[in-house]
Chain A
Amino acid sequence: MRVLLVEDEKLLADEFLFYLEKDQIICDWASSYANASEALAVNEYDFVFLDLGLPDGDGLDLLSESKKHQKHALIIILTARSDIKDRVKGLEMGADDYLSKPFSFLELKARMQAILRRKSGWNKEEINIGGFILDLDSWTVRYQAEKIVLTKKEFSLLHFLLLHSNRVINRFQLAEHIWGDHLEDDYQSNYIDVHIKNIRKKLGNFASVDWLETVRGVGYKIKT
């Protein structure tokens, strides 16, 4: 997979490149409108990550160029701008998703997967973990023929942890994934423990859930 990152902040771009390249993704970086415009005209990309606030132009204009030169590329807008009009305009102009800074790379990866699934025609997708089958279309879990009822939040948590298997996901990352940004304080991060407890209880009635590990004081990890 080849992606183009359009981002003027070098420090952020460095982390971005480091993270993506670790996942064997070829990543080009354009720090300005001019560089991005050139890269879009010359290369072919699977994903374009577009920052709207560029020093020499408006990222929204680049969106039109992306749609022109990169007909198959999936575009995710990454911006620290707060104006909702930009968001609406970006999505109207053909962006596939919009992620507000500061975002977690784990969240970005989850969004990328969701877009890929959506664009690939909603093919039925199931994930197996320890004999439990997560059906991503119907948002249900079953064990053998038995259907297990999880709440939306519980399913979302389990799926997020599974997307990032073998990696420690801290409570804040999990809380942000399921609650968003708008609760008053960090109180909701404590609720993650409650959800995990419920997941363990519900799944534990059918089989062992040892694969869902607690990392003390930090968060959780699914070991595959």
Chain B
Amino acid sequence: MYLSTKMLLYNLLAKGIILLFFLMTGPFLLKYFALMDIDAELKDKRDQILAIISENGMEDFFVGNDSPGGFGSYNILKEEYVLLERLEDPFLLDSIFNEERILDKVTVSYRVCAYVFSFEDETYLMEIGKSLETINRIFDLLFRIIIFLLLAFLVLSFFLDTIFSKWLIQPFRKIIRDKIAHINEPQQFKHEPVKTSTKDFRLLDDSISHMMWRIQKAFNQERVFISHASHELKTPVSILQTKIEAFFGDETLNEREMERLMDMQQTIQKLKKIINSLLLLSKVNNAQYLKTETVPLHELVQELVEEWEPLAEDRNLELNLEIRDEFDAKSSNGSLCHIMIQNALSNAMKYSYKGSTIKLVGRLGPDEYQLLVLNEGPAISDELMDQVASGLVFLKDAKKESSGYGLQIIYKIASFLGVGVRVESNSSGTKFIFCFPVT
């Protein structure tokens, strides 16, 4: 998953958690603070009434009252009430609680502040109540407003965060797209610094560029070395080759001398092939080939089959071509593709049982195009497979008079071209599977 996607998801998740937390705790907190506020208001009113009583006495409440033992007053909408009651049996009370009252057959919930106090040798109970209906309405309204504001904030901040994080990691994406994605092709690496004011990205970009500069330097040194080694190795072989060729042109040579000359030619030929194979491997390792061609694989395989068919017939082998889908390998190298597939086919021809069939299958999968070369013949030993796949050791197949570079060349070219290669070998035969990426 890309960093930007992760950041986006984190952003969403974090905000979702915040919203959920508020939804779960918000009502309780709001209610708690609303009640605290009401309690403070009730206490304040209690103190005001006590101050009035202390100043004016109880006459204002009890004189002319229909019930001489108590006083009660509700405002018109029954939102608040004050109640004073003379107690015959005194007790202590200073409490705030919720209580439901039935007034005109309507149940009303009140927050009640109850307080017992003494005044002029009498004990009174004072209750000040405030309807909770209003509070609940205000609370609901407040909660909705807060939720709306919170949602608006979350959506807005999500978009802002997304835009900001995209802008923030843009240099990082550029580093990945233009630099890290090309580290396998050091010669094509571009050293232009990525524009960024973020120190971390600057450091990353500089470090990658420096590392690639060192790799490029090493590659260039290796290329010069390969070029010189090639010159030093090939020139003496050229001299030998030309001298032998000159002998071949001599018509006075007898049959025995010709045979000896042929032996020498064979040795030189082997030497040439070894040098060429080693140079090919070195050049592939050193990324000296271009990958700019579009290679129509179906055509390439068709061409190879046509080339090799007479030889297969001579060995009593059947070449069976089954191209289910056509495919163009993009950003590839036709010559290297040819060598790679030809080596697999050559290997199949060499190790097939007489009278058997070699199948070449091309099929398109969801992510890759698979090219299979299947033959019926003895298995390649596990030891050889491991060593070739690890790319560390070349093995000479003494029994088959083979240099062992063929498999190595297949692996190296495949790796260079970004082609996946699998070799499955058992007693019934060997299967080379080349997986070309579709994108």
Contacts and interface: CB of A to CB of B under 8 A. Distances in A.
Interface of A: 9, 11-12, 15-16, 18-19, 22, 53, 79-86, 100-106, 151-154, 167-168, 170, 172-173, 176, 181-189, 191, 194-195, 197-198, 215-218
Contacts of A170: 248, 262, 265
Which of A79, A183, A189: most chain B Cβ within 10 A?
Answer: A183
Contacts of B49: none
A15 B223 contact: no
Contacts of B255: 216-217
A103 to B, nearest CB: 7
Given A81-B231, A84-B283, A153 B273 contact: no
A93 B141 CA distance: 83
Interface residues of B, number: 58
Given A15-B239, A83-B227, A183 B346 contact: yes
B251 to A, nearest CB: 8
B1 interface: no
Contacts of A216: 255
A102 B242 CA distance: 8
Contacts of B246: 15, 18-19
Which of A101, A184, A195: most chain B Cβ within 10 A?
Answer: A184
A185 B248 contact: no
A186 B234 contact: no
A185 B227 contact: no
A12 B240 CA distance: 9
A172 B269 contact: yes
A181 B279 CA distance: 11
Contacts of A152: 306-307
Given A102-B240, A182-B276, 11 more contacts: A9-B238, A12-B242, A19-B245, A102-B234, A102-B272, A153-B310, A182-B342, A187-B346, A191-B311, A218-B258, A218-B262
B83 interface: no
Interface stretch (B32-40, B357-365, B401-409): B401-409
B226 interface: yes
A183 B226 CA distance: 20
20 contacts: A19-B245, A22-B249, A80-B230, A80-B238, A81-B231, A82-B226, A82-B227, A82-B279, A84-B288, A101-B237, A102-B238, A102-B268, A104-B245, A153-B310, A182-B277, A185-B406, A187-B402, A197-B314, A217-B262, A218-B259
Interface of B: 223, 226-227, 230-235, 237-243, 245-246, 248-249, 255, 258-259, 261-262, 265-266, 268-270, 272-273, 276-277, 279-280, 282-283, 288-290, 306-307, 310-311, 314, 339, 342-343, 346-347, 350, 401-403, 405-406, 409
A82 B276 CA distance: 9
Contacts of A172: 265-266, 269
Contacts of B350: 187
Contact of B401 (A11, A16, A185): A185
A106 B248 CA distance: 11
B45 to A, nearest CB: 96
B2 to A, nearest CB: 36
Contacts of B226: 82-83
A53 B227 CA distance: 10
A215 to B, nearest CB: 7
Contacts of A102: 234, 237-238, 240-242, 268, 272
Given A82-B226, A181-B273, A184-B346, A106 B307 contact: no
A185 B282 CA distance: 18
B314 A53 contact: no
A15 B346 contact: no
A106 B245 contact: yes
Contacts of B409: 182, 184
Which of A12, A16, A102: most chain B Cβ within 10 A?
Answer: A102
